[in-house]
Structure 1
């Protein structure tokens, strides 16, 4: 594996049923691969509509197992193209009535990591606690075709501790599937992603949906951020892929010259673990 690879955030327009979304996603994956991407990140719950402000018991019809149709398409595309893909599904767990917001990382067609969203909102129009059981495992880096990659999911970008865990585990890329709406949040959204990149000296690949779905207007802006917080590639609206180079050697150099990981004082951070 070369130190320089290419990574991509895949953005999807709203308003299609699952079969249409899967077809569009497969096409966009091929487009990203054609541009040299070895890692492709999909939006949060990419093949399903996202939750609306009012809890809806009928929404559970969109749930599927880890080997359901959404991941089946992603697994096949990962195998065909020899790339790594981070999928995101509304997972129906083994126990009936238990669901999770789940990211799955496929490498060359093999499922190498399952990460379940551990921080769930019930505010600002996102009542996720009604639908999902929170994950119990912290994010971790996993080897992919572009190097070690760790994943957190949407709301979790508000918690800097999670990105830091991925960096401490050796991650050179932080993957973030999101479903982000509301124009006033757009600037904060980009600020947080750039801060994750700078504080941890790593690349951030964030994939969003775009367009109106129910009462929500998703603002797109799927992007790749460099380890100095710069925007390397972005898709503003509609379907598209943001593809950019990812240099693992640059990550190592920046962590040496801006040694934030080295200079941590964990002996002073005990207060971070104080329970309610």
Structure 2
């Protein structure tokens, strides 16, 4: 049955604590705080329980991974059940020895895992050495039927790809969540910082417009320097949610831990898609070349 009632979402913008266990405790407390403010659908940042270890290539970091279900989903399951809310929990998934994913679990109000999404696009850039750690996702683009309606999830680097947003929206999602770990190289911030952050927000707002749905990006904050030294990364926060026309409804700061709350109205998705019928007018007979890496003509 379609869900038409408005509901409140919470974006948990946070930095990790000094241990994964304390990070999970902190996240659970923030989720409970968010529920007390009316939130029924909550999302944490990418790899929230640890520092962003992908700044270096170190085999020791594989010890941070865990199965799904596992310790993180168990603890956050207690928080979800206690709050009668759905929690989107990103984590480092150990699928098997030598096989790891950058994943998230959607945990329902009963504390059980509704499903898993594995990050499809894996970056490899300076201080974002994710290909060393993660195999690309193999579960495809997914929709999760939560207590408040259909939800789509993607992760960080996925947010730059309109194909990912479209395929997730085509499954019926009313809102796309992008848990994220993105920030500035401090040496580049003065010259490129504003432009980079603006591009990050613009592409995601465009996904909302093109698909007639809500989009929520949930970033971490803090300046993290790896054990090997260097300038590290300054995560720029700015967690935000925008509506189906790309208008920003709520937005966090660049440097503070915050709970960002916003109301989502499924009827607005219905109305927007009816009056701006991009899905109706798609030329699905002409998009075959999208399956090619490049068109050499």
Q: 1:216 to 1:14 in 2, by over 3 A?
A: farther
In structure 1, stretches of 5+ residues that fail to align are none
Alignment pair present for 1:234 and 2:251? yes
Task: Note if contact 1:86-1:105 (Cα within 8 Å) is conserved in structure 2.
Answer: yes
Instruction: Return the alpha-carbon distance in structure 1 between the equivalents of residues 139 and 20 of structure 2.
Output: 29
Instruction: Return the alpha-carbon distance in structure 2 between the equivalents of residues 186 and 7 of structure 1.
Output: 23
Instruction: Return the alpha-carbon distance in structure 2 between the equivalents of residues 101 and 41 of structure 1.
Output: 15
Q: How does 1:67-146 map to 2 (within 5 A)?
A: 67-93=69-95, 95-108=96-109, 109-146=111-148
Alignment pair present for 1:210 and 2:212? no
Instruction: Return the alpha-carbon distance in structure 2 between the equivalents of residues 246 and 58 of structure 1.
Output: 41
- TM-score, scaled relative to structure 2: 0.89
For residue 263 of structure 1, report the CA deviation from its aligned partner: 0.8
Q: How does 1:131-170 map to 2 (within 5 A)?
A: 131-170=133-172
In structure 2, stretches of 5+ residues that fail to align are 226-231
Give the length in aligned residue pairs. 275
For residue 193 of structure 1, report the CA deviation from its aligned partner: 1.4
For residue 275 of structure 1, report the CA deviation from its aligned partner: 4.5
Task: Note if contact 1:8-1:205 (Cα within 8 Å) is conserved in structure 2.
Answer: no
Determine which structure has greater relative contact order: mean sequence separation of CA pairs < 8 Å that are 6+ residues apart, divided by chain length.
Answer: 1
Task: Note if contact 1:7-1:243 (Cα within 8 Å) is conserved in structure 2.
Answer: yes
- TM-score, scaled relative to structure 1: 0.95
Instruction: Return the alpha-carbon distance in structure 1 between the equivalents of residues 240 and 147 of structure 2.
Output: 19
Q: Could you say which structure has the larger radius of gyration?
A: 2
Instruction: Return the alpha-carbon distance in structure 2 between the equivalents of residues 218 and 85 of structure 1.
Output: 22
Instruction: Return the alpha-carbon distance in structure 2 between the equivalents of residues 171 and 139 of structure 1.
Output: 11
Instruction: Return the alpha-carbon distance in structure 2 between the equivalents of residues 110 and 55 of structure 1.
Output: 33
Instruction: Return the alpha-carbon distance in structure 1 between the equivalents of residues 210 and 148 of structure 2.
Output: 21
For residue 53 of structure 1, report the CA deviation from its aligned partner: 3.4
Q: From 276, 281, 290, give the equivalent of 1:258.
A: 276
Q: How does 1:264-275 map to 2 (within 5 A)?
A: 264-275=282-293
For residue 135 of structure 1, report the CA deviation from its aligned partner: 1.0
Give the secondary structure class of the aligned counterpart of 1:139.
coil
CA displacement, residues 174-200 of structure 1 (integer Å, 9 cap, x when unaligned): 011100111522111111111111111
Give the secondary structure class of the aligned counterpart of 2:105.
strand
Instruction: Return the alpha-carbon distance in structure 1 between the equivalents of residues 268 and 147 of structure 2.
Output: 17
